[in-house]
Structure 1
Amino acid sequence: MFDLELKKLQTEEPRTPEGLPEDIIVSPDTHRANRIPPGQSRTRKWPILDAGGPPRIDMEKWRLELHGLVEKEASFDWAQFQQLPRTKVFSDFHCVTRWSRLGNVWEGVSTRDLMKAVGTISPRARYVLVHGYDFGWTTNLPLDQFLAEDALIATHHDGEPLSVEHGAPARLIVPRLYAWKSAKWIGGLEFIENDKAGFWERNGYHMNGDPWREERFGY
């Protein structure tokens, strides 16, 4: 029944958190009376945007590497990643190009569960630099946003596996920031002390990217 409802998710009024299964984490922004941030408009589709197209990923060689200011570094191959506890999150999704897709259900591995593999995070670590498989692509975000309850490494969207165009095999989802921070084709997480601009940030985008403050650009 729930899967049938998911298919209608973007064809009617935006779904609200009420009535969701108890195992789904609800992103706080979905409780807002007006869920569309300033300067945005709602879309029922899911546009495909990226810097240069999907990379070729050999799943036999796929790894998610965690390193930097942590007690112990960790690495997961695809089989190991699939064995981690699963989480579902209900959230909205806001692109800096001024569209918002409301009422998404993501499934994957919570960032909080993922970090259990590295032990203690150094108190010096205040940011995360996310590395993608697409020709050295990176993005930066505050550690507290990365570790928010509604943040996860997603493999599924609205009950279906992610398509390659939307970041398969796995992408980061950080619902409370603009969607470019939710890096596709994720391959590494580097925990750092000082903020470091990623690909889009070096090209003029905001270092933080809060959609409710319209933090689109860094100038």
Structure 2
Amino acid sequence: MHHPEDDCYTLRSMCEGSVEAFELFYERYAPLVMKVALRVLHDRMEAEDVCHDVFLEVLRRGSSYDPRRGSITSWLAIMTRSRCLDRLRKTRRLVQTEQVELGAETEAPTEELVFSRLRKDALVDALQALPANQRTAVIGSYYGSQTHRELSEEWNMPLGTVKSLIRYGLNHLRKQMEKRGWAHDSESSRNRSGNGKEEVHK
């Protein structure tokens, strides 16, 4: 059984640099902070991040804690809830920013945004899995908007070698996307891009 006075002393000690006091305070109040964070965020990883942030803030602001204004339990609960709401607002702003980047309407369904984001992340991940020379060739051709001949001249490489790198790169990219569950999407995208490039290089 501990007393509020003991907690105040522990708080002051940890703010003065006592590792033992910090460990004691954390052991005593981390379950409370996690409980509040989980209730607001419904996500354990997010709640753990908030818990970390809260205890860092306690270290910075703990010396200004005034027990006359409320218990440590209330102080931590209010601080945790505030941090959770900040995180939710930040997440909402990120979603709105992605809507603008994707050219989506403000009222676009959340499912579409999530789908587009997952596809984008899968493509970036798949590109990173390609051999360096194939990745460079694919990015230069389809995302840098350069012709095969321009790439050949820029890299001082035979035109046939450039075309082979792009062809092998696209084939490997399709396989990487299939591993990530985007087989149909990557194939159709590859065909559209490939057709467009063939017209350019003819």
Q: Specify if TM > 0.5.
A: no
TM-score w.r.t. the length of structure 2 is: 0.21
TM-score w.r.t. the length of structure 1 is: 0.20
Greater RCO, CA 8 A, separation 6+ = 1
Give the strand-richer structure, 1 or 2.
1
Give the helix-richer structure, 1 or 2.
2
